[in-house]
Structure 1
Amino acid sequence: MGADGGRAKKVTGKVYKCWDEVTTKKKGQTEVVDYLIDPFVGGSSAADPESLSARHSFPELWNLEKRYGSIIAGALQSSLFGKRDKTVETKGGPRKNKNQRGSFSFQGGMQTLTDTLCKELGKDDLKLNAKVLTLAYSHDGSSPSQNWSITCASNKKTQEVDAVIITAPLDNVKDIRITKRGTPFALNFLPEVTYLPLSVLITTFKKENVKRPLEGFGVLVPSKEEQNGFKTLGTLFSSMMFPDRAPSDTYLYTTFIGGTRNRELARASTDELKNIVTSDLRKLLGAEGEPTFVNHFFWSKGFPLYGHNYGSVLEAIDKMEKGLPGFYYAGNHRGGLSVGRAIASGCKAADLVISYLNNASDKTVSDK
Structure 2
Amino acid sequence: MAYAPVVSVSVSVRPNEVRQPIEGFGFLVPRASGLRLLGGLFMSSLFPDRAPEGRALLTCLLGGVRWPEAVDEPDDVLVARLGKDLEVTLGLRGGFDLLSLSRWPRAVAQPSRRHQELVADVRKEVARVGGLAVAGGWLDGVSIADTVSSGVRAASMIAAGLGR
Name 2:123's counterpart in structure 1.
318
**Contact 2:14 2:94 (C-alpha < 8 Å) held by counterparts:** no
- Amino acid of the residue matched to residue 261 of structure 1? R
Name 2:42's counterpart in structure 1.
237
Query: 1:299 and 1:324 mapped to 2: Cα distance?
Result: 35
Counterparts of residues 156-235 of structure 1 (less than 5 Å):
193-226=1-34, 230-235=35-40
Q: Gaps spanning 5+ residues in structure 2: where?
A: none
Counterparts of residues 215-364 of structure 1 (less than 5 Å):
215-226=23-34, 230-358=35-163
Distance 1:358 1:306, change over 3 A: same
Following superposition, the deviation at residue 250 of structure 1 comes to: 1.0
Name 1:116's counterpart in structure 2.
none
Give the structure-2-normalised TM-score. 0.83
Following superposition, the deviation at residue 289 of structure 1 comes to: 4.1
Following superposition, the deviation at residue 299 of structure 1 comes to: 2.1
Identity rate, percent? 29
Query: 2:149 and 2:16 mapped to 1: Cα distance?
Result: 41
Question: By percentage of residues, which structure has more helix?
Answer: 2
Query: 1:323 and 1:273 mapped to 2: Cα distance?
Result: 49
Following superposition, the deviation at residue 298 of structure 1 comes to: 2.2
Give the 3-state SS of the residue equivalent to 1:219 in structure 2.
strand
Distance 1:213 1:317, change over 3 A: same
Following superposition, the deviation at residue 290 of structure 1 comes to: 4.0
Following superposition, the deviation at residue 320 of structure 1 comes to: 4.3
Give the structure-1-normalised TM-score. 0.41
- Between 288-297 and 247-256, report the one with greater CA deviation: 288-297
Matched length: 164
- Amino acid of the residue matched to residue 10 of structure 2? I
Following superposition, the deviation at residue 306 of structure 1 comes to: 2.9
Q: Flag the structure with more relative contact order, 1 or 2, with Cα contacts below 8 A and sequence separation at least 6.
A: 2
Query: 1:293 and 1:214 mapped to 2: Cα distance?
Result: 17
CA RMSD of aligned residues (A): 2.3
Following superposition, the deviation at residue 314 of structure 1 comes to: 0.7
Distance 1:271 1:323, change over 3 A: farther
Distance 1:300 1:325, change over 3 A: farther
